[in-house]
Amino acid sequence: MSADRARHALVTGASRGIGFSVAQKLLAQGLNVTLMGRGQAGLEAACAKLGHPDRVGWVSADIGDAAAVRQAFEQAQARFGVVSVLVNNAGQAVSERFDRLDEAGWHNMIAVNLTGTFHCIQAALPGMYEQKWGRIVNVASTAGLVGYAYVSAYCAAKHGVVGLTRSLALEAARKGVTVNAVCPGYTETDLVQEALDNIMSKTGLSREQAKAKLAEGNPQGRLVQPEEVADAVAYLCQEGASAINGQAIPVDGGEVMVG
C-alpha cells in the first residue's frame, strides 16, 4: 500500500443497522469503505447517505456463495486496493423450537452466519498477509457465548464464529493481522424488530412490552444501540489495537460476563 493511499475497509451487511454504523465510523477514521450486501437499492441508498462518493462504494454478493464473494472482493479491490480491514457483520436469525427446526432452516443459519464469514475471510486474508497488516472483526452475538432457547441454529453458528475467531487469531498472530469478535446483546436493529414481531404474535404483548421483555436481560435495562457496537468495532480496527487478538468482546450492558 502506498503511503498516500488510505486503507480500505469492507463491511458486510452494511446497508443498515450495525453494519451501516460501522461504515460511518470507519469512514470518519479516514478509511475508504466498501459496503457489501445483497440488495442494490439499499446499498445505493446507504452510500448516498454516507456521502464522500470518492471514498465509498458498494458491491453485491450472497456471502453464502464463495465464487460470488471472490468476484465482489475483486471488484472492491480494483477500486480501493487491498482490503486491510474486514468487518463480517452480515447475519440472520430465525426463531424456532429445536424439534420443529428442519434441515433447510439449520443449513441456512449456518450458511449465512458462519460459512459466509469463512468465505469473506478467505477472500481477504491473502492480501492482508502480503502487506503484513490487517484487521478482521467478526460481529458475532452474545448467542456466541451463551445459549438462548428457540434459536439453537443461530447460537450454534455464532458459537462457530467465536471459535473461528480464536483459532484464526493464533494462525495470524505473527503476520500483522488481528482477528477479534464483538458480541452484541439485543441491539435496536431490524433484526430485533423482527424478534419483537415474533414475541407479539405469540404472546399478545404490545410492542413496548415486548421490547421491555428483551431489555430485561441487560442489567442496564435497555437495548444496545448500533452506534455502541460500531464504536467497539472501530476501536479494534485501529493501529492502537494491535495487541488485542482472539477476543470475543460482549457489548451488552453486562448481560454476559466471561472470565
Q: What are residue 96's DSSP bridge partners?
A: 151
154 is catalytic: yes
Would you state the cell numbers that stand for residue 113, as one nine-digit string? 452466519
Cell of 219: 442489567
- β-bridge partners, 36: 12, 59
Radius of gyration over alpha carbons of the chain, in Å?
18
Is 58 within 8 Å of 36 (Cβ atoms)? yes
Cβ atoms within 10 Å of 3's Cβ, excluding its own: 4
Q: Give buried/exposed letters for 5-38 (b at 16+ CB in 10 A, else e).
A: ebbbbbbbbbbbbbbbbbbbbbbebebbbbbbbb
Map grid coordinates 448481560 to a residue: 255
148, 154, 186, 235: which is the annotated catalytic residue?
Answer: 154
Cα 164 to Cα 146: distance, rounded to the nearest angstrom = 16
Where are any strands of DSSP class E within 89-143? 134-139
Residues acting as catalytic residues: 154
